[in-house]
Amino acid sequence: MKKGSPRVAFFPCVYHEVDGVAQTSRHFEAFARRQQTDFFMVHAGPRDEVVANGTVTRVELPRSPVKFPLDRAHDYDLLFLRHYRKVEPMLRDFRPDVVQITGPSDVGTLGAYVAYKLNIPLAATWQTNLHQYARRRMAAATAFLPNAAAGQLADVAARLSFRATARFYKIPRLLFAPNQEMIRVLKTATGKPCYLMSHAVDTMVFRPELRDRDGGPFRIGYVGRLTTEKSVRSLARLEQRLLEKGYRDFEFVVVGEGAEQEWLRNNMRQAEFTGVLTGPDLWRTFANFDVLAFPSETDTFGLVVLEAFASGVPAVVTDLGGPQDTVRQGRTGFIARDFDEFVSYTQRIMDEPALLASMRAAAREQALETSWDRIFAGMYEAYERCLCSVPVESRSVLDVATT
C-alpha cells in the first residue's frame, strides 16, 4: 500500500457474529492496521464505545429494543439511524474519501445516509442473496399449500425481494460482489461498475496439523447456520441415503445453530451437534473432518469451503451459488448438479482413500494461494479509480491489484 491511500469509513452489517461477513469485516480492519492506513469502522454490538488503535478507529453502537430478529444471530434495529447525530461529527473529523457498506442492514443504511448527507462516494458489497433467502423462507411458510401455489408464491417473494434490493444497490457509486454470476446480475440490474471481491482464509490457524484423530468412523462435516436457506435438511437426506446403501461406519459433525437444529436432531441418527464453535475448537474440528458437505444453494461465496481446504479437507457443494466457483472439480472436491450427484460424490470420497488423500493435499495447496492482503489492496485500487472518475470495468480486484 502506498502513502495517501483513500481514507475509508467502513459500515459492516456484522462484526462480532460468527459468519463469513463478520470474519471478512475483522480481516479488513486488521489489514488497515497492518498497512497503517486511516480507517474508521462503525458496527453494532452490545457496547457503546469508541476504540482507537493506531490508524484505526472502531465505533460500536448498541441496538435499541425496537429491533427484530432476521435469524437467531442477526437483528435489525428500526431506530438505528438515531446514531447519526453521534457518527456524523466523528466522520466530519475523520474526512473519509469513501464510505464502504456491506449491504442494506441497519448499519448499512446508516452508512449510506451519512455518505449522502456528507456527499461522500459510497461503495457497497453484495454479501447475501436475500432474494434466495426470501424464496426459501416463503416456500417453508407455504409448505401446506399445493406445490404449484407454494412455488408461485416463492417466486413472487424472490422477485420482489430482488427488485427491492437492486434498487438499494443503485445508490452506491461502485459495487463489489463475491462471484462472477452476481457481477453480471448486478451490472444488468443497476448499471453500476462492479468488482469481484473474493475471500481468503488464515492458513496459520486452519491447518491439517491440528488433526488428532487416527482412524474411526468417516467424518462428514457441516459448518454454518442451521436455517432453511442453507438447505441443511439435505444433511438428513444424505445420511438416510448412505444408510440405505449399506454404509454404517460414518458420522456427521454439525457445527452451528439455527431454527432447523431441532428438526435435524430429531431426524438424524448418526450426528453430533456441537453448537457454535470458535477459535481453537473450530480449527481442530475442521481438521478432523474427512469431507465437508455443504448443500447450501444461496451462499454467495461460502467461506467455510476455504476454511475446510486450509484444514486439508475436500468439499462437496451444489452447482448453485458461490461455493461452486471455489471448488476445483475432481481435485479439491466435487460440484453436484442435483442431490443424487451430491450423494454419489460423497460416496466416492468415502470409498477411495487414494482420491481422498490427493484431494486433501490439493485442498491445502489451493487455500495457500489465497491472500486477504491482495484482496483488500485491490479494493483500495478500485476506490482510487472511482475517486479519479476513471471508468471501472467489471474486473477482479486481484487483477487490479497487480496492474
- Residue 50 maps to which CATH number? 3.40.50.2000
Nearest CA to 7 out of 50, 34, 36, 27 is that of 36
E strands present in 126-245: 174-177, 194-196, 218-223
Residue ranges making up the domain that contains 71: 8-201+371-401
* Helix, strand, or coil (residue 85): helix
Radius of gyration of the chain (CA): 21
pLDDT at 389: 58
* Same domain, residue pair 247 and 379: no
> In total, how many domains does the chain have?
2
* Same domain, residue pair 378 and 248: no
* Same domain, residue pair 37 and 97: yes
In a domain, 37, yes or no: yes
In a domain, 57, yes or no: yes
* Same domain, residue pair 254 and 330: yes
Half-sphere exposure of 198 (CA within 13 A, CB side): 26
Residue 333 and residue 359 in contact, taking contact as beta carbons nearer than 8 Å: yes
Report the alpha-carbon distance of residue 215 to residue 353 in Å, rounded.
12
* Helix, strand, or coil (residue 97): coil
pLDDT at 3: 61
Residues 6+ apart with CB under 8 A from 119: none
* Same domain, residue pair 216 and 349: yes
pLDDT at 178: 86
Residues 6+ apart with CB under 8 A from 163: none
Q: Please give, one letter per residue, the 3-state secondary structure of 5-73.
A: CCCEEEECCCCCCCCHHHHHHHHHHHHHHHHCCCEEEEEECCCCEEEEECCEEEEEECCCCCEEECCCC
In a domain, 283, yes or no: yes
* Same domain, residue pair 193 and 285: no
* Same domain, residue pair 186 and 239: no
In a domain, 168, yes or no: yes
In a domain, 3, yes or no: no
In a domain, 1, yes or no: no
* Same domain, residue pair 103 and 245: no
In a domain, 351, yes or no: yes
* Same domain, residue pair 194 and 241: no
Half-sphere exposure of 214 (CA within 13 A, CB side): 1
In a domain, 2, yes or no: no
Residue 375 and residue 197 in contact, taking contact as beta carbons nearer than 8 Å: yes
Report the alpha-carbon distance of residue 98 to residue 387 in Å, rounded.
8
* Same domain, residue pair 51 and 181: yes
pLDDT at 337: 97
pLDDT at 393: 44
pLDDT at 84: 97
pTM above 0.75, yes or no: yes
* Same domain, residue pair 257 and 339: yes
Residues of the chain scoring pLDDT < 70: 1-3, 72, 389-403
For 278-310, give one letter per residue: b (16+ CB within 10 A) or e. eeeebbebbbbbbbbbbbbbbbbbbbbbbbbbb
- The chain-wide mean pLDDT, for the chain, equals 91
* Same domain, residue pair 242 and 172: no
